[in-house]
Amino acid sequence: MKNIHIKKPVVYYLIYLGFLTYFEVLLRMFTLHGSFDLIPYILNLWYALILTVLTLSFKTTRTILFVTLFLLTFILGSQVYYYYFFNTFYTAYSFLRAGMMAGSYYREIIILIQENLEVIFYYFLPLIGLAFFSKKLTASRLPLKKVLIAVMVFVVLYGGTLIQITLRSKNDPTCDAYVYHPEVVASVKALGVLTSFTVDVTRLVRENLGLANATRIPDVDPDPDPDPDPDPDPIVYNVLDIPFDTLKAQTTNKVLLAMHEYYSSRQATKQNAKTGIFEGYNLILLTAESFSHYAVRQDITPTLYKMVHEGYYFTNFYNPVWGVSTSDGEYVQFTSMIPKSGVWSLSESAVNDMGFVLGHQLKNLGYTTFAFHDHTYSYYNRDKSHPNLGYTYMGVGNGLSDTGEWPQSDLDMMKETVPMFINEDKFHIYYMTVSGHPNYTWRGNMMATKNRNLVKDLPYSEYVQGYLATQIELDRALKYLMDELEKAGKLDKTLIVLSADHYPYYLKPDMFTELNNGTPVDTTFELYRSALIIYNSKMKGETITKPVSSMDILPTVDNLMGVAFDSRLLMGSDVFSNREPMVIFKDRSFISNAGRYNAKTKVFTYNKGVVENPQYVKSMIDIINAKFYYSQKFLETDYYKIIENSLN
Residue 39 makes CB contacts below 8 A (sequence gap 6+) with 161, 165, 174, 190, 191, 192, 195
How many angstroms separate the CA atoms of 264 and 390, rounded?
26
Query: pLDDT tens digit string along 196-205?
Result: 888 888 877 7
Q: Which residues in the chain show pLDDT less than 50? A: 1-6, 227, 232
238: helix, strand or coil: coil
Cα 19 versus chain centre, distance: 31
**C-beta separation of 437 from 407 below 8 A:** yes
**pLDDT score at 458:** 97
Q: Return the amino acid letter for 339.
A: P
Q: What is the dihedral of CA 545, 547, 552, 558, to 10 degrees?
A: -20
Given CA atoms 29, 31, 34, 40 in this order, what sign does their dihedral have?
A: negative
Angle (CA) 529-180-385 rounded to 5° is: 60
Residues in the chain: 648
Spatial CA neighbour of 350 closest among 380, 305, 307, 312: 380
Residue 75 makes CB contacts below 8 A (sequence gap 6+) with none
How, if at all, do strands 392-396 and 368-376 pair? parallel
State pTM to two decimals. Answer: 0.87
Beta-sheet strands, E only, within 501-594: 529-530, 533-535, 542-544, 548-549, 582-584, 590-592
The secondary element (H helix, E strand) that includes residue 396 is strand 392-396
Radius of gyration over alpha carbons of the chain, in Å? 27
**pLDDT score at 29:** 93
Spatial CA neighbour of 496 closest among 544, 531, 536, 532: 536
How many angstroms separate the CA atoms of 520 and 527, rounded?
10
How many angstroms separate the CA atoms of 46 and 67, rounded?
19
How many angstroms separate the CA atoms of 244 and 639, rounded?
12
Residue 7 has phi, psi (to 5 degrees) of -110, -15
For residue 206, CA distances in Å to 24, 214, 425, 477, 600 come to 27, 10, 48, 45, 30
Query: pLDDT tens digit string along 266-278?
Result: 999 999 999 999 9
Maximum Cα–Cα distance for the chain, whole Å? 96
Identify the burial level of 36 via C-beta atoms within 10 angstroms of its C-beta, where 0-12 means exposed, 13-18 middle and 19 or more buried: exposed
How many angstroms separate the CA atoms of 508 and 119, rounded?
17
**pLDDT score at 159:** 78
Given CA atoms 334, 222, 549, 93 in this order, what sign does their dihedral have?
A: negative
